[in-house]
Structure 1
């Protein structure tokens, strides 16, 4: 099994030299299962091979906010760095759908980087992509109204899930955006009146 990726840094040469699954273990995760826990030691680097993963961070009151999503061929750069520097995870990674993740021990990642310079390109590309997404989160929180943040969140999630209809409760949306359920309900009704979404029972369809 080769790790699927559309990132140019994992070149055909690298993939023809080895089967990455030989370097670690592959695990299956159901929707909602935690893959990486906050404050847990990172001894293996997760690389998504199937499905999608959301990466969140929580505050002292246990409110959570989605930072970014991972698709096949991608890794969580924050977990990657925590593993390389023997630190604990500062984020939580949760399966968004049925997912498969390859865990490569940190010591083998060191060897991969030394033996295959292509991996440095892969790491830098992932870092660049995640940095841009984190800037979008900061921009949304600091400068956008909640209705703009909500629409942006729905659009991003639909893009990741490759659908126009999401199965989510107002409570789930409120938790992931760090606000109250009443705020989400009010904004969704307003968006429906404006023709931006269509609401059903625990379903939201982007128009």
Structure 2
């Protein structure tokens, strides 16, 4: 997993100048483990230091949709804002692969903002990136057909995982895109006929 170059460089600078690792606790998560729970109090801000994390939101029927991915050097801006204003988490964060996360207590955030301008720059950079990604999600849901959304999702996930082949079931895809398994299976079959993907047993390869 390669982090975003600019953010990785900025995070390294923060660690160098502020000793971020000394301010919090580092924890390790296996793929699929929940890092931040939806509607739970946010007492610390997570910063991914290794691996990758997907951030999701669910509706009243418990259907989930992936909003964006966190790479090394990135934090979840939704968790940051919830922690800053003592609100419950509006999202769920799950390890996409085995990951390492640094948790910085919320009570240290105000001091970081006040004493280190570079920390505020980091937060604004993250906020801008997440805002663009969320606009993309809104655009996909509002204006794109499900086949376009499915292909875009597969491309993004392959980019994050740095692979052309994803180990995913049709059920998992349906859950993360908020639709039915039958819809995903039908669309994947059509995509395979067009030469866009190659389907295997619980595997999907982008062509």
Give the TM-score band, short-chain normalised.
Answer: over 0.9
CA RMSD of the aligned region, Å?
Answer: 1.7
In structure 1, list runs of 5 or more residues that go unmatched: none
- Whose helix proportion is higher, 1 or 2? 2
In 1, Cα distance between equivalents of 2:9 and 2:111: 17
Query: How far off is 1:110 after superposition?
Result: 1.3
| TM-score (structure 2 length as normaliser) | 0.95
In structure 2, list runs of 5 or more residues that go unmatched: none
Residue of structure 2 equivalent to 1:110:
110
Cα deviation digits, residues 63-118 of structure 1 (max 9, x gap)? 00000000000000000000000000000000000000000001112111111100
Distance 1:12 1:188, change over 3 A: closer
Find the residue that maps to 2:54 and give its secondary structure. Answer: strand
Cα deviation digits, residues 99-144 of structure 1 (max 9, x gap)? 0000000111211111110011111110011011000000000000
Residue of structure 1 equivalent to 2:20:
20
* Count of aligned pairs: 205
Correspondence 1:1-207 to 2 at 5 A = 6-7=6-7, 10=10, 14-207=14-207
2:47/2:75 contact within 8 Å kept:
yes
Distance 1:94 1:13, change over 3 A: closer
Distance 1:180 1:43, change over 3 A: same
| TM-score (structure 1 length as normaliser) | 0.95
Distance 1:175 1:98, change over 3 A: same
In 2, Cα distance between equivalents of 1:203 and 1:83: 38
Q: Once structures 1 and 2 are overlaid, which stretch shifts more, 112-121 or 77-86?
A: 112-121
Find the residue that maps to 1:109 and give its secondary structure. Answer: helix
Query: How far off is 1:12 after superposition?
Result: 5.9
Distance 1:51 1:14, change over 3 A: closer
